């Protein structure tokens, strides 16, 4: 009787192997730490990424941090949020011409599509990000 079910199990196993690894990976529901080294992979891996460029000494950056955390939770599975410390990651800050912080870089399918500069309340920031969904 086990022989009758073997072809079915083999077929299921083949289909499981065909599913790309990305579909298995759960998207984060909190901002992830991004560095000069990890940024290229992150923007390539996820369809829509918003990177919060900040620094420890920046008061407005700390004011917007809870908003970024809320958005990461609320848009989990749709938008991946990251945090890039510009003092520790100068290459990325220079590459994207970040002159003031906080700056939010929005990448869609690996391409920079928007740059939002300055701290603002959620009701102002959210539409600027979700328009890219």
Among the listed residues 39, 48, 53, 61, the single catalytic one is 61
Structure token digits, residue 8: 């079915």
Active-site residue flag, 61: yes
Question: How are beta strands 80-85 and 32-34 bridged, if at all?
Answer: parallel
State the chain's maximal CA–CA distance in angstroms: 70
Q: Please, which residues have CB within 8 angstroms of residue 14's CB and are 6 or more apart in sequence? A: none
Structural contact between residues 83 and 27, judged by C-beta atoms closer than 8 angstroms: no
**Residue 3: CA atoms inside 13 Å, Cβ hemisphere, count?**
0
Among the listed residues 50, 58, 68, 125, the single catalytic one is 58
Question: CA end-to-end span of the chain, whole Å?
Answer: 50
Catalytic residue IDs: 58, 61
């Amino acid at each position: 009787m086990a022989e009758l079910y073997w072809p079915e199990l083999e077929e299921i196993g083949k289909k499981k192997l065909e599913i790309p690894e990305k579909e298995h990976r759960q998207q984060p529901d909190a901002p992830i730490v991004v560095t000069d080294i990890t940024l290229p992979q992150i923007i390539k891996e996820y369809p829509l990424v918003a990177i919060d460029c900040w620094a420890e000494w920046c008061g407005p950056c700390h004011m917007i941090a809870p908003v970024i955390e809320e958005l990461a939770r609320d848009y989990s599975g749709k938008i991946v949020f990251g945090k890039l410390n510009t003092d520790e990651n100068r290459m990325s800050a220079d590459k994207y011409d970040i002159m003031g912080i906080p700056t939010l870089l929005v990448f869609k399918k690996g391409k920079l599509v928007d740059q939002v500069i300055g701290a603002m309340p959620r009701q102002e920031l959210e539409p600027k990000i979700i328009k890219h969904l």
